Structure 1
């Protein structure tokens, strides 16, 4: 029996809905706002908790399922045409993927890609930055912002399981 994840932009909250059958069409209204239709989200991973979360654990904000699907289709179609000897092509594809999904590159990944764009040797970059790249997430799931706007706060996760 599936659990679907939905996001309310108005109250910046992620809700979980339980369905007794597979239901890919129904879109419920926000339990808090009452009249605002929610937006179905791709669940990044399943997490079962008992009681309170461990200190320092962070919930991931919702991903737009449609954007992610388009980005993955683009990635698979463009991978065939990449020249493996030209790291700049891989960098362009990585940046395009980031833009299409709304994911933001981590600071170490951003630095590594910038160095590759300038023509530096990827093996040298890996040697110098390997520990940093291994220790940080390559992407952050915070939504990208446009100039002149503030980043929206990370969504609240409502732990209630609602009926769909």
Structure 2
């Protein structure tokens, strides 16, 4: 009996829905907003917690699973013709992945890619920026606001188990 996770962008909350059978098509409305249809999320098989813990910064942002799958399939085809000696081609693929999935590059990753586009040596960039690149999340979920793109707070996780 599966439990499905759904995300509401309006209230920035992840909800859990219980189903007595496998159901990959039903999309419920938000339990809080009532009218907003939710977005199905990729979820882990189990989550072990000690009581009520807030989501950590290591948790993945909600991602549209079908959008990610289409992007990965498209990029897989393009990778066959890539020249491994030309880092600019790898940068173009990385930027395309970001555009297709809605993932935003972190500041360090953006700087590293910009330097590679200018023709700098990738190994030199990695050596100089290793600490920064290791300390930041390379991707975040881009959220649109009326003033442009900004980072949105981690979604709240509603621990209630709703019926699907």
Instruction: Show the counterpart of 2:103.
Output: 103
Instruction: Show the counterpart of 2:81.
Output: 81
- Deviation for aligned residue 1:53: 1.6
Q: Cα gap change, 1:44/1:113 in structure 2, threshold over 3 Å: closer, same or farther? A: farther
Instruction: Show the counterpart of 1:3.
Output: 3
* Structure 1 alignment gaps of length 5 or more: none
* Structure 2 alignment gaps of length 5 or more: none
- Worse-matched range after superposition: 87-96 or 23-32: 23-32
Instruction: Show the counterpart of 2:56.
Output: 57
Per-residue CA deviations over 1:64-89 (Å, capped at 9, x if unaligned) read 11211111111211111110010000
Instruction: Show the counterpart of 1:36.
Output: 36
SS in 1 for 2:130: helix
Instruction: Show the counterpart of 2:127.
Output: 127
- What's the Cα RMSD here? 2.3
> Is the Cα contact below 8 Å between 2:88 and 2:116 reproduced in 1?
yes
Q: Cα gap change, 1:78/1:51 in structure 2, threshold over 3 Å: closer, same or farther? A: same
- Deviation for aligned residue 1:152: 6.7
Instruction: Show the counterpart of 2:13.
Output: 13
1:69 aligns with 2:69: yes
CA distance in 1, matches of 2:9, 2:104: 19
- Deviation for aligned residue 1:32: 1.4
> Is the Cα contact below 8 Å between 1:4 and 1:16 reproduced in 2?
yes
CA distance in 2, matches of 1:26, 1:47: 23
Q: TM-score, normalised by structure 1?
A: 0.86
> Is the Cα contact below 8 Å between 1:43 and 1:63 reproduced in 2?
no
List, as ranges, runs of 4+ consecutive aligned residues in structure 1 with deviation greater than 4 Å. none
